[in-house]
Amino acid sequence: MSLDIVILGADGAPKKQVSIGVDDHYRLTRLVGEDTGSLLARLNDYYADAEFAHAELARLAGEVTALRARCHDDKRLFSFLEALSELSEAAKLEQKPLVVITD
């Protein structure tokens, strides 16, 4: 089971995605903490869907960059954040939101 962050295609199916498993998700939520102002706090509930609007993606990218600087020793989490950053950039270029889907 994973939490998938996706760009949806015209047919409503995921076109591009990154996934995070439960163990990596736990470490991510510990880094994000209880900051309710953080966009990444939307990922705190592993079993809830969420969305990042196109207008929020620049701010999301900043949060991801800051977290990457704090977890460079955690290869799997760093890799997930790097992939999320790339997915966020793709969504910005396509002018689409990022959708979080529980799998």
Q: Strand 2-8 to strand 50-52: parallel, antiparallel, or no bridges (unpaired)?
A: unpaired
Give the tens place of pLDDT for each residue, 69-82: 988 899 999 999 99
For residue 63, give its domain range: 2-102
- Say what the pTM is: 0.93
Which pLDDT does position 34 carry in this prediction? Answer: 65
- What integer pLDDT is reported at residue 14 of this predicted model? 96
Low-confidence ranges of the chain (pLDDT < 50): none
Q: Which stretch of DSSP H or E encloses residue 102?
A: strand 98-102
Write the CATH number for 44. Answer: 3.40.1760
Cβ-Cβ contacts under 8 Å for 8 (sequence gap 6 or more):
14, 15, 96, 99
Burial of 52 per CB tally in 10 Å (0-12, 13-18, 19+) = buried
CA distance 77 to 54: 24
Q: What share of the chain is helix, strand, coil (3-state, %, to 5)?
A: 50, 20, 25
**Which percentage of the chain shows pLDDT scores above 70?**
97
Q: How many domains does the chain have?
A: 1
66's enclosing H/E stretch is helix 57-70
Orientation angle between helical segments 75-94 and 57-70, nearest 10 degrees: 160
